[in-house]
Amino acid sequence: MFYLLYLHYADIAKDYPLLNLVQYQTVRVALAMATAMIVSVAMGSRFIAWMRVKQGRGQPIRSDGPVSHLSKVGTPTMGGLMILAGIAVAVFLWGDLSNPYIWIVSGVTAAFGLLGFIDDYAKVSKQTSAGLTSKQKLLAQVVISVIAGVLTVLWMTASPTSPNLETSIAFPFFKAVLLNIGWFYVVFAAFTMVGFSNAVNLTDGLDGLAIVPVMMAAGAFGIISYLVGNFIFSDYLGVHHVPGSGELAIFCAAIIGAGTGFLWYNAPPAKIFMGDTGSLALGGALGAIAVATKHELVLGIVGGLFVIEALSVMIQVGYYKATKKRIFLMAPIHHHFEKMGWPESTVVIRFWIVSAMLALAGLATLKLR
């Protein structure tokens, strides 16, 4: 909003140096991060108290999980609403609302958040760890992601350096390699968004485990968005230039700010869980940002922790169906380490370290070409 107001009153703003700062994406990145954090922190205590009253017994805890989790009984869920509120306010105030990528990513985030909210509500109201069926969630996710994929292809501004970029897959480490798959790209884009949304959802099982890696991934993609959206930087680094994608750095900054505010209350022992409301939305947002910036494969590196968590579940289920035996003591894999005797805090911090290393590895692909 403020950016559009600045453009409208540019002739007046030029006489006031402080107002001119709004034109710079880097300044709006900082302001978006601060705004999102303030909103998330400010609504925290009252929101949590209200959720305790509304939800009663809070999020149901799996009876077959680690024994230590029984102490979490009564903790409210749907904390993702705090994150989404912070992101919404920050992006509305500091984002370029005429930018199509802002609307696509915001739409995916809101739609996945709504789906997660419905799932959380079903769990809390029925007091069961099973909300919507997997088929119901998957169908809704696919529909949302296909629509987002189509809009991304249709609304993407043609790149002056990479013909047919809108329907092509870019590969890390190779400057000139583009695989144009036409409208099949929509399927690939949908797979990226759906897959990553569910991967983040599976990771959200311990206090603070999912939100910090999400913030790290958002930080990495904030840098990627800014660089690929800038013609000079993208040309220097040899990455495919996506006009307008730099504005997504503001969205990434909002994720970091809102996530920081949420972590204030989600730090062990958590006062609230983000629930599917937050995990599905944040995973979908990162997937949509990766699609818009043409760094879908790099997302698999930056968000490698989430990929590992999802693979551990797939391997466990597949192996059990084939042999009636388990590879891991419990899946997702963070529960495996808990069953091995690692304290929850140890699992969380070590997973944070792995996530940080993977985020740096993902950023390294910008230069290693």
Tell me if 94 sits within 8 A of 24, measured CB to CB. Answer: no
For the segment 336-362, the average pLDDT, to the nearest whole number, is 96
d(CA 315, CA 327): 8
- List, for residues 135-175, the tens digit of each pLDDT value: 999 999 999 999 999 999 999 988 888 889 999 999 998 88
Phi, psi of 178 (to 5 degrees): -135, 130
User: What average pLDDT does the chain have?
Assistant: 92
How far CA 206 is from CA of 22, 72, 212, 339, in Å, comes to 39, 10, 11, 13
Per-residue pLDDT, 54 = 83
pLDDT recorded at residue 56: 72
What is the pLDDT at residue 84?
Answer: 98
Evaluate whether 274 touches 266 at the Cβ level (below 8 Å): yes
Lowest mean pLDDT among 121-135, 196-210, 273-287: 121-135
Q: Specify the range with the lowest mean pLDDT, choosing from 161-165, 243-247, 299-303, 350-354.
A: 161-165
Q: 208: pLDDT confidence band, cut at 50, 70 and 90?
A: very high
Check if the beta carbon of residue 244 is closer than 8 Å to that of residue 48.
no
